[in-house]
Amino acid sequence: MPIIKWQDSFSVGIQRFDDEHKVLLDIINEMFIIVRDQKTVDHLSIEINKLIQYTQEHFADEEEAMEKAGYPALDEHKVIHEKLLNDVVVFKKRVDNGEKEVTTTFYHFLRDWLLTHIMEEDMQYKPFLADPTNKATTT
């Protein structure tokens, strides 16, 4: 059973991005299970690497669509994406260094990051990119 369940209120109105957000949610849920079940740091590290890789791909997809659509807040959104990825990399280093107390903090950070980023940051592009006349998100 997922720890964080997808809700329709998370939808940014673009199926491709909603699907990518769901994958990120699944990865974060898997990380919670790893921590809850006290699996090894190696298990967690593998999942963090998966998160970093997928997040990079997702952010690139969003940024490309925003650029094609001429989204006015693209530069600000890119800065937010860069900071989030940097924060995840810092947490990964702490996990890899064996800081046991960081795992719970990291999970809470990820949960809050994903939900806050979607609900606050990504929702700002929703009316702009979800416009059916916008070709940038349909390709």
Are 12 and 130 spatial neighbours (Cβ–Cβ below 8 Å)? yes
* Tally of structural domains, the chain: 1
Are 137 and 69 spatial neighbours (Cβ–Cβ below 8 Å)? yes
Q: What is the distance between the alpha carbons of residues 21 and 11, in angstroms, rounded to a whole number?
A: 9
CATH code where residue 61 lies: 1.20.120.50
Residue 98: strand, helix, or coil: coil
In-domain check, residue 104: yes
pLDDT digits (tens, 9 = 90+) for 62-76: 999 999 888 999 999
Q: What is the pLDDT of residue 106?
A: 81
In-domain check, residue 2: no
In-domain check, residue 7: no
Q: What is the distance between the alpha carbons of residues 62 and 122, in angstroms, rounded to a whole number?
A: 9
pLDDT digits (tens, 9 = 90+) for 13-47: 899 999 999 999 999 899 888 888 888 788 888 99
In-domain check, residue 6: no
The DSSP symbol for 3 reads S
Q: Give the mean model confidence (pLDDT) for residues 81-109.
A: 86
Q: How confident is the model at residue 118 (pLDDT cuts 50, 70, 90)?
A: confident
In-domain check, residue 4: no
Q: What is the pLDDT of residue 78?
A: 95
Q: Give the mean model confidence (pLDDT) for residues 102-122.
A: 82
In which domain, by residue range, is 86 found? 13-131
Residue 130 has pLDDT above 70, yes or no: yes
Higher pLDDT, 78 or 2: 78
In-domain check, residue 3: no
In-domain check, residue 107: yes
Please count the other Cβ atoms lying within 10 Å of the Cβ belonging to residue 102.
18
Q: How confident is the model at residue 96 (pLDDT cuts 50, 70, 90)?
A: confident
Are 17 and 133 spatial neighbours (Cβ–Cβ below 8 Å)? no
In-domain check, residue 120: yes
Predicted TM-score (pTM) of this structure: 0.86
Are 41 and 97 spatial neighbours (Cβ–Cβ below 8 Å)? no
